[in-house]
Amino acid sequence: MKENNLRDFYKKGETVELTISDIAEKDQCFGKLENGTGVLVRGMLAIGDRVEATITRVRPTYIEAVAGKVLSYSADRVEPECPVFGVCGGCKWMHVSYDTQVRYKQKKVHDALVHIGGIKGITVKPALPAPGIMHYRNKVEFSCSSKRYLLPEELKQEVLEKPKDFALGFHAPGNFEKVLEIDTCYLAKECMNSALAITREFAFEQGLAPYAAREHTGFLRNLMLRYSEERAELMVNLVTSWHDPELMGAYRDRLLSRMPGQEMTIVNNVTTRKNTVAVGEKEYVVHGDGVIQERLGDLRFRISANSFFQTNTRQAEALYDGIMKMAGLKENDTVYDLYCGTGTITLYLAERCRRAVGLEIVESSLADAAENALRNGIANASFYRVDLKNFHTLLGTLEEFGFPRVIVTDPPRAGMHPKALKTMVRLQPETIVYVSCNPANLARDAKEICASGYRLEEVQPVDMFPHTSHIEALACFRRTV
């Protein structure tokens, strides 16, 4: 069959049968019909599943479909522990064994580098598995909404057990307004789930109005929770539209009375912005000192409500050890750490070189980074506030440290800003260690780095997020010219 004749053979709404042969982005998979026609299937499936799928769109070279009945299951299938798996958009891979997840993730990184980056002959190492695959997250963010996402079985009920106009949980996939009510998140710490239940109970008792995103009304917006592995300390950050001291005092008393013995700090972030982001314009400390302490290796870190910190503490050490190994630091080196956040990588680097320089735009993160350097007695780390797209404007200031032999960059999910990447390769460090949470954007940037006189020598995926499709990857580039 000629590819350009697909529309003559297939119509929207028709049903086809196929075996899933690959995993695609988000909750999509890929397979082929018996005649070789490619089908992109939406649904949480596993490689080896044979499914019945309904065509949703016929494109010139392939078909799009949505999965229906699974006719036979892959040998990699397991029973997901979460009762809302498949509805909640978080744990997209809880239905396959963990060994399979790790294998999928290695392939995801490899395929991105080959097909997007155009990098041939690269060997991607097996992904480093996480030591714990449940309750591993040290940060969880719940959203509050006036529109609750109804489960499929609820749509058939005449009388609902829960109100439709309040929900505290996770945003429904692809919907900024509706929130899926969550009782237990299996990736969160147990104390986080307790705080979630207490907050929901308190909100009902007090009649707190949930935030309505479209109308920009309501009081309760988000519940963001952080946890220290070292100190077993919980941070509760309630994000609201305004500050109510009396109400926050009652909320503090409820948490402390219901969670006796739990080390805790409580903060109230307040925002008036017309969005659902859990970052306040102003912060009020309700209980404790408003920060938690964490340890990575020999270093201790101060983490505030809005600071960046790796969400899997135990696996973060494996990630940072991998960075150090790739960097191959020498005693007299100067190292730059781009997108340094709270300075965790910068301080790791500083212990093994002459000078480490961290660059970041978020002011609260830089304050934490400076405090972290002080509390760890590290005097050879410096931090500068800069939008990395304007990295070139800071080079004159940084000349006093000398130009770097090694640069480590840990950009956000969108990847490096093109101007930042251009400045980075202009400095011509011998080694670039790229830390990525998005294989597609790693591949895009790797293509540019390799075109600027570098060779991609090593790629090591590190699984920070079991049961999700996300994967962290370390890529080591060496200068060739």
For residues 285 and 299, is the Cβ–Cβ distance under 8 A? no
For residues 303 and 311, is the Cβ–Cβ distance under 8 A? no
Q: Could you give the 3-state DSSP secondary structure of residue 474?
A: strand
Distance CA 472, CA 464 (A): 6
For 11, 225, 267, 291, 371, the CA distances from 304, given in Å and listed in that order, are 54, 11, 10, 5, 11
Q: Which helix (H) or strand (E) holds 291?
A: strand 291-296
**Known catalytic residue at 437:** yes
- The alpha-helical segments, DSSP class H, found in 32-185 are 98-115
Per DSSP, the residues of 334-355 read: EEEEES-TTSHHHHHHHTTSSE
Query: What contacts 24+ positions apart, CB below 8 Å, involve 17-22?
Result: 17/50, 17/51, 17/52, 17/53, 17/71, 18/50, 18/51, 18/53, 19/48, 19/49, 19/50, 19/51, 20/45, 20/46, 20/47, 20/48, 20/49, 20/50, 20/51, 20/74, 21/47, 22/47
Active-site choice (185, 353, 437, 450): 437
Distance of CA 278 to the CA centre of its chain: 15
The DSSP bridge pattern shows strands 38-42 and 63-72 to be parallel
Distance CA 467, CA 98 (A): 8
For residues 179 and 150, is the Cβ–Cβ distance under 8 A? no
177-206: buried (b, 16+ CB within 10 Å) or exposed (e) per residue? Answer: ebbbbbeebbbbbebbbbbbebbbebbeee
Closest C-alpha among 82, 106, 103 to residue 94: 82
- Beta strands across the sheet bearing 355-360: 381-385, 355-360, 334-338, 406-409, 431-436, 472-479, 454-462
For residues 372 and 360, is the Cβ–Cβ distance under 8 A? no
User: Which positions are catalytic?
Assistant: 437
